[in-house]
Structure 1
Amino acid sequence: MKKIVIIGDSIAAGFFEGQVTDLLNEYVTDTLTGMGFPDYTVVNLGERGASSATALEQLPKAEAENPDFVAINVGINDAINNRENVKEYGENLKKMITAFPAEKVILVGPSWVDLTIKTAGNKETLVKYIAMAKDIAQETGVNYIDMYHHMEVYPDPAEFLQSDGLHPSKFGYHLLGALIARDIKNKLLG
């Protein structure tokens, strides 16, 4: 059985309808199986409320799993709650990414947020964090999933979110899981 480790925040953890679920894990493995790559399991180390700084604490556990692939999905809490730590966010991402060979890592950027509901955030700050994530991915040579872009180009991006305006709906987790699976497939096919 091959192993995918997911590190990050509540979105990475599969937070849905008030609790952590296996939704993201299932969408990743089901999509991979549908693409002809069965035999994958997900070890999800995502934690509610994690920032890039607290997600770093997941690193020893992630390394101990000796994963075939690692998906890092953190940043939305930094962008909404800490706003001014863009540089620290980039440094934390770099530490997480470089703990693994670049060919094993997929970095998921901060997602689109419905700011009419989640009023603590603002688009300008979110865009700065997304730009930092893109820059770090390019600098370290890892795959980057631009969740904000994938959601924003959709006619009604709010469909990807639960009523809190932040966490993915089932549709949103399906999109995220499929994008992670696609990147793994592309890495496998070289």
Structure 2
Amino acid sequence: MNITIFGDSIASGKQNGCDYSDIFVKSLEKRLKILTDNINFYQFTIPGIDSEQGKKMLKDIPLGCDYYICVFGVNDAAKHHSVTSTEYMENMIGFSEHFGIDKTFLVTPPAFNNSVGTIKRENNLATLYSQRLIASANRKNCRVVDFNYQLNLYSDFTYFLQKDGLHLNKEGYTLLAYLLTNKIISDNLI
């Protein structure tokens, strides 16, 4: 099974100031090894980019993988980026259509810890962007993992975040891998 991970710093596994790590891949691999031993991951991730910038990367990502996991939104919903919720939703649906709706998983942005004053993001905007994507994805039969909603179910979702209030810690990636694997299983893809 060949899986491409495409996206921002959440997709790159940013940990404690280091832009790239294997934590997301290792979390997914651990969950998917229950189903199959033959897994190859390919990453096309750039911390700090939004979905509008991600569109420019499409030409560099090979088609033909079994699955694509698109993780954007953390920067789209940021105050210092100029991507509207409509543009975000259209970009994400466009990624799904580009790679194949039956092969693509769209992941909404995580919840943000607004009490950390340096993140330039508000949780209500992440939720708005997520809701817009979910509504459109449902109409187009796209696969979505609503990570924002899942995190907001917890009374203290900061348990899943690093101290920066934005990036996922080990527990956050474990939860995201669990949600993606459950989606693969529930959709009978393996």
| The two structures share one fold, judged by TM-score above 0.5 | yes
Q: Deviations over 1:41-96 (max 9, x none)?
A: 2111121001011111222232x152100111101101013366112112211221
Q: Deviations over 1:119-155 (max 9, x none)?
A: 5222332222111211232132122111112111123
Q: Tell me which moved more, 166-175 or 140-149.
A: 140-149
User: For 1:161 and 1:15, how far apart are their aligned partners in 2?
Assistant: 11
**Once superposed, which parts of structure 1, at least 4 consecutive aligned residues long, lie more than 6 Å away?**
none
Which residue is equivalent to 1:43? Answer: 42
Residues 113 and 166, structure 2, Cα contact 8 Å, conserved in 1: yes
- Alignment CA distance shift 1:124-1:99 (3 Å): same
User: For 2:65 and 2:182, how far apart are their aligned partners in 1?
Assistant: 17
Q: How does 1:20-99 map to 2 (within 5 A)?
A: 20-34=20-34, 36-62=35-61, 64-80=62-78, 81-82=80-81, 85-99=84-98
List gaps (5 residues or longer) in structure 2: none
1:155 and 2:175 correspond: no
- Alignment CA distance shift 1:189-1:123 (3 Å): closer
Identity %: 26
Which residue is equivalent to 1:9? Answer: 8
More helix by share: 1
SS at match of 2:76: helix
SS at match of 1:77: coil
SS at match of 2:41: strand
User: For 1:55 and 1:86, how far apart are their aligned partners in 2?
Assistant: 15
1:100 and 2:124 correspond: no
RMSD of the TM alignment (CA)? 1.8
- Amino acid aligned to 1:47: I
Normalized against structure 1, the TM-score is what?
Answer: 0.90
User: For 2:142 and 2:65, how far apart are their aligned partners in 1?
Assistant: 15
Q: How many residues align?
A: 187
User: For 1:39 and 1:161, how far apart are their aligned partners in 2?
Assistant: 30
- Alignment CA distance shift 1:65-1:21 (3 Å): farther
User: For 2:36 and 2:22, how far apart are their aligned partners in 1?
Assistant: 19
Which residue is equivalent to 2:170? Answer: 170
